[in-house]
Each structure stands twice: as C-alpha cells, then as structure tokens.
Amino acid sequence: MKTTTFFGVAFSILFSTAVLAQDKSTSFKVSGNCNMCKRTIENAAKSAGATSITWDPSKKIAYVVFDSSKVSVDAIQKQIAGVGYDTEKFTADTKAYNSLPDCCQYERVKLQVNKSNP
C-alpha cells in the first residue's frame, strides 16, 4: 500500500511539473558570419532566458528552446538585436552593429520572415 501511494505521489509530482513547464521550440533567421557571431548570438539568447539555442552560421538560423511562461520569442530576438545582429522581427541598432568586430559585420539586408517556422 505504501509503495502504491509513493508511486502515485511521484507520478503526480512529475505530471504537475510537466504541465507547469511551458517549453516551446522555434527557429528564426539571425544575420551573422562566423563562430564569434555564433557565441555572441547564443549568449544573448541565453541571457534573455532561452533554455537552449544553436545558431547555424551557414543557414543563418537560430534553433531555440525556451519556457514560454518566463520569456517570449520576441524578447529573445530583441536581446539578439541588442548586441548587433538583425533578426526576423528586430533590426539591430546601428551603434550596436558598428561595434561588432569587422569579421562579424554582415551585409545588412532585410530578413524575410519564414511563415513555416514552428
């Protein structure tokens, strides 16, 4: 009987934790060039509250996991733009862009929103 109660309580705790966590994943375009850009972009997203992020320099796509009860995808993109990198929704401030190292100063073009992002 104690074992059944223990497993019932353990299951309830695990289930409630899963319900409370609002992990979502998405991807969006982020301008940049190199591995130095990759580090800066990923650090900015994590400082905004992303659980995990991988930015692919060849595709210029950030793959992000975040807890939607704590942070929005817009807040993550704003933080990335704040350190100098244009995203689908936000353009980096010219001063932030100009402060990037020469190798990180990408050609600035308006990014097209990919409507098929999850």
User: 59 vs 3, which has greater pLDDT?
Assistant: 59
Mean per-residue pLDDT for 52-63? 97
User: 108 vs 56, which has greater pLDDT?
Assistant: 56
User: 94 vs 15, which has greater pLDDT?
Assistant: 94
Assign 62 to helix, strand or coil.
Answer: strand
Locus of tokens 């997203």 = 45
Res. 96: pLDDT tops 70: yes
User: What pLDDT, in 10s, does the model give residues 18-46?
Assistant: 445 689 999 999 999 999 999 999 999 99
CB atoms within 10 A of CB 21: 13
Pairing relation of β-strands 61-67 and 23-29?
Answer: antiparallel
User: What CATH number should be reported for the domain whose range is 22-104?
Assistant: 3.30.70.100
| pTM passes above 0.85 | no
